Amino acid sequence: MGEKDLRSIIEQVLSEMSVSAAPGAQNVAAAAAAAAPAVNAGGGLKIASKNLELDAPVIENGEFGDITQIDIRTQYLVENPENKEAYADLKYKAPCRLAIGKAGARYRTLPQLEFRAAHSAAQDAVFNDVDEEFVKNQGLFIVQTQCDSKDTYLTRPDLGRKLSEEARETILKNCKKNPTVQIYVADGLSSAAVAANIGDLLPAITQGLQSYGIDVGTPFFVKYGRVAVEDEISELLNATVVCTLIGERPGLITATSMSAYIAYKATVGMPEARRTVFSNIHSAGTVPAEAGAHIAEIIKIMLEKKVSGTDLKL
Amino acid sequence: MHEVISSVGIDIGTSTTQLVFSRLTIENPAGSYRIPKITIVEKQVIYRSKIYFTPLISATEIDAEGVKRIVRSEYAAAGMKPGDLQTGAVIITGDTARKKNANEVLSALSDLAGDFVVATAGPSLESVLAARGAGTDKLSLDNKTVIANIDIGGGTSNIAVYQRGDLRGTSCLDIGGRLIKVENGSLTYVFPKIQALAAEHGIRISVGDRADRGILYKVAELMAAELAASLHLCPITESHKKLYTNDGTPIPEEPKIIGITYSGGVADCVYGSDIQDPFRYGDIGVLLGQAIRENKLLSSLTLYKAAETIRATVVGAGAHATDISGSTICYDRSLLPIKNIPVLKIPAEDEKTLESFKDSILRQLPIFYTEGQLEQIAIAFDGHERSSFKAVQELADAIIEGAKEVIESRYPLIIVVEHDIAKVLGNALNFKMGNKKPVICIDGIPTASGDYIDIGEPVAGGQVLPVVNKTLVFNT
C-alpha cells in the first residue's frame, strides 16, 4: 500500500470519526497518531516461552510503518489487561483479530487500517494477473481458457472450465502425450498464491514422483482457469492422473493459499466427488515444499488403487 | 480417522514395581481436505497393577526372574498379550546402584514387553515421566502458570518444572522415604548423605539406634527444608549441592515456581491421609510427608492435586512416554522398529550456514565410535529456516557430504527434524542417492544432544511413527 493510499484512508477514517478537533487537514497523519494515543503506549511484551517480542505499533513522523508487515499473532492492543501474557500466548496460536482493543464502540485506527489492507490484498489477489515473466521463469508455457478477460472469468464460470481452441493446439504441440501424471498450474481466484507457492510446490511434487519412478508430463500454466478445466486437459493428453495447482479464493488472513485438485482418469462431466483435494498450502499453513512431497505420495497411492476422490480411502 | 493403540508402562523402582496398560487414541483433527496432522487426542489408563515391593537378590541386584513373574501375572490379570501392544516403556528408576543388572532384567522381560522397551532411565527422564503422570504439565497449561512436581519415592526426589505446558528444568536429589529404615523399633539402615545432613544440624543417628519419632521427625524436617531449597524458595547452601544425584545441579532459578504437585509413594502422606503408626511402612516416609506438609516455604506455594501419586511414574511411562512423529514423513518400513539410537544434534548456531552444518556432523561423528566402528546414529536438527524447495535440496546435499561415513556404513541414514520438512527432505535424499541407501526421515520430534530415541512400527495406516525419546537432557 502506497503512502498516498494510506493518507487518503486516514483522511477518510478521520472524517468518519468526525475528529473536529484535528488541527487542520495539512497535519492529518499527526492527528491520526493523536486519535490513537494508547496504541503507542503498550510497549513490547516478551513472551518468555516463545521468545517473541510482541509488536507495539511504532509511529514515526506521524505515520504507521508498513502495516501489512505486522504479524497479527503477536499484536496485542488491549489496555490494562487482566493477564496480558496468558492472552498473548493464546492469541499466538492462531492469526485471529483478537485483543485489538477498541475506541468506544469502534475499532481503533490501526486495526481498522489493517483490516482494510488485508481486504485490499485479497482483492488484489483476485483481480491482478499472474506475472508472465514469473511463469516463464518457472519453465511453464501459458495457455488461456475461453475467458477473454478477468471480468468474463469472474462472471462466466462455465467458460473458465473450457480451453480455447488455441490453448488445445498449444498443449497438444508442446506436451508429452499419454503421461502417467499431468500437472499444471492455474491462477484460479488468487494470482498471489501462484507467485508465492509454485516455486516450491511444483518441483517438490515432481521430485517426489521421480524418486518413485513415476512418469510426469510437461507442466504448463492456464490463465483464467477453474478447477474443472483439468477434466478437459486430462482427456486431451490422455493422462492417467491429472493434478491442478490452483489459487484459492483469498480471505483476510492470507491471500496466498493454494489447493491441489487431483483426479484419476478424469473425464469431462464427471462428478465432483472424484476429485481429491488438498487445501491450505501456504507459508503459514502446510509449507509448499512439504505439501508437494505429500501430494506426490498421494498420487502414487492413487495410481496403485486406481481411484480418486471419495473412493480413495487414505 | 480414529485409531486406538495400546501401550504398556512398567516401572521397576528402588522400592516398588508397578505396571499399567493404557490406550492412546490418535486422530487426524485436520479434516479431510488438509494435509494430515495426526495427534494423540486422548490417553487413558485402562489397567493398574498392584504395587509390589521390587524383588531383590541383594542390595545392588534386582531379581530378574521375580520381576518377570510379577509382570507375567499382571498381564494375565489384565487379559493382555504382548502382541496386543504397539508401544510402551519399561524403565528402571531410582537408586543407580540397583541398575547394575538392568540389562539382565530387560532381557528377562523381552518376550513380555515386546520390541519397544526402554532401557534404564536417566534421572531427568524419570522426573519428566513422573510429572507427566501427575498431570503437572497439563495443570501448568490450564492454569497458565509455573508448577513444579516433586516425585518423592523411596530413594530419590525427582523434580520437574513446567511453565504453561513446557518443560523448564529437572533435577534429582537423594531425598526419599526409605533412606532411613525402621524395624522393630530400631534403625536398620541410614543412607550416608542423610546421616551427614542430620549431623550437620547436630543430630546423630546411626544403625541400631532406637527409632525415636521426635528425632526422626526433625530429620524429616531437614529433608523437607532441602526440598524447599531445591525449588529456590530459600538460598542454596554448599552442603545442599551434595544432595543431588550423579553430581547433578539444581533446576534453573527462572521461571519462579508458583504452584506445586507431589507424586511418588510419599505424596499421599503429604496430601494428608493421616496414618497413626509413623513407621507403618518400615521407614520414615510418613514422617517425611508430614514434614513436607508442615514446611512453611513449601506451603507458600499453591498446592495442586496430582492426577496420580504413587503411580505417577509408571503412568508417565505407560501413557506419556510415547510421542508420534509428524504426519508427512519418509521411511523404509523394513527397518523398523529401531531402538536406542543415540542422537547427533546439530546445534542452532551450526545450522546457520551449510558449511557449519556439514562441519558440525563431521566434528561430532567421532563421539559415536565404539571399538573403532561408527555405531548407528540419528542426525537431528531444527530445520526451521530451511523449508523452501531450494533450501531443502541444499540441506540434502550438505547431509550427503557431512554424513558420508554414515551413508557408507551398514546402517540406515536416520534424520530427525523438528520442523515440518521431513517428507520433502527424505524425497530429496532418496532422489539424490538414487534410492540406493535406506532413509528414515521424520519430523515433529524435538531432540537434544545426548538423547536416545526408539522409533516404533508405523501406526495410523502407516502415516506416523511412534517415537520414544529416552533422555531429555537437563541435569543428567
Amino acid letter, A98:
L
Question: Is residue B292 within 8 Å of B271, Cβ to Cβ?
Answer: no
For residue A34, the model assigns a pLDDT of 39
What are the sequence ranges of the domains in chain B?
Answer: 2-121, 125-303, 325-472
In whole angstroms, give the CA distance from residue B103 to residue B106. 5
In whole angstroms, give the CA distance from residue B364 to residue B77. 48
Average pLDDT over residues A199-204: 97
List helix spans (H) across A67-108.
Answer: 84-91
Q: Which of A277, A289, A293 sits opposite B33 (nearest CB)?
A: A277
A264 band by pLDDT with thresholds 50, 70 and 90:
very high
Question: B163: which chain A residues are within 8 Å (Cβ-Cβ)?
Answer: 48-49
The string of pLDDT tens digits covering residues A282-310 is: 998 899 999 999 999 999 999 999 999 99
Residue A2 has pLDDT above 70, yes or no: no
Residue B378's contacts (CB-CB under 8 Å, 6 or more residues apart) are: B341, B342, B343, B344, B414, B415, B416, B447, B453
Average pLDDT over residues A151-161: 95
Residue A9 has pLDDT above 80, yes or no: no
Residue A87 backbone zone (phi > 0: left; psi -120 to 50: alpha; other: beta): alpha
The DSSP symbol for B244 reads B
Question: What is the signed CA dihedral for A238, A243, A245, A246, rounded to 10 degrees?
Answer: 70
Residue A27 has pLDDT above 80, yes or no: no
For residue B475, the model assigns a pLDDT of 37
CA of A49 to nearest chain B CA: how many angstroms apart? 8
Q: Which residue, chain included where needed, has cell 538392568?
A: B102
Write down the architecture of domain B125-303 according to CATH: 2-Layer Sandwich (3.30)
Pairing of strands B157-163, B146-152: antiparallel
Amino acid letter, A243:
C
Q: Concatenated DSSP letters for A257-312?
A: -EEEEEEES--TT--GGGEEEEEEESTTSB-HHHHHHHHHHHHHHHHHHT--GGG-
Residue B127 has pLDDT above 50, yes or no: yes
CATH number at B2-121: 3.30.420.40
Total-model pTM: 0.80
ipTM, 2 dp: 0.79
Residue A30 has pLDDT above 50, yes or no: no
For residue B117, the model assigns a pLDDT of 54
* Phi, psi values for residue B222, rounded to 5°: -65, -40
Give the chain B residue nearest A289 (alpha carbons): B389
A58 band by pLDDT with thresholds 50, 70 and 90:
low
Among A27-31, B63-67, B135-139, whose mean pLDDT is lowest? A27-31
Interface residue B29 vs chain A (CB under 8 A): no
Prior bond to B366 cis, omega within 30?
A: no
Residue A72 has pLDDT above 50, yes or no: yes
Question: Is residue B152 within 8 Å of B264, Cβ to Cβ?
Answer: yes
The pLDDT mean for chain A works out to: 85
The pLDDT mean for chain B works out to: 89
Q: Is B117 in a helix, a strand, or coil?
A: coil
In whole angstroms, give the CA distance from residue A92 to residue B300. 32
Q: Is the Cβ pair A49, B164 closer than 8 Å? A: yes
Pairing of strands A59-60, B378-381: unpaired
For residue A60, the model assigns a pLDDT of 72
The string of pLDDT tens digits covering residues B76-101 is: 999 998 888 888 888 887 665 566 67
B457 band by pLDDT with thresholds 50, 70 and 90:
confident
In whole angstroms, give the CA distance from residue B88 to residue B85. 8
Give the chain A residue nearest B162 (alpha carbons): A49
Pairing of strands B52-53, B56-58: unpaired
Interface residue B429 vs chain A (CB under 8 A): no
A25 band by pLDDT with thresholds 50, 70 and 90:
very low
For residue A21, the model assigns a pLDDT of 40
For residue B340, the model assigns a pLDDT of 80
Interface with chain A: mutation pick from B2, B35, B140, B254, highest number of A CBs within 10 Å: B35
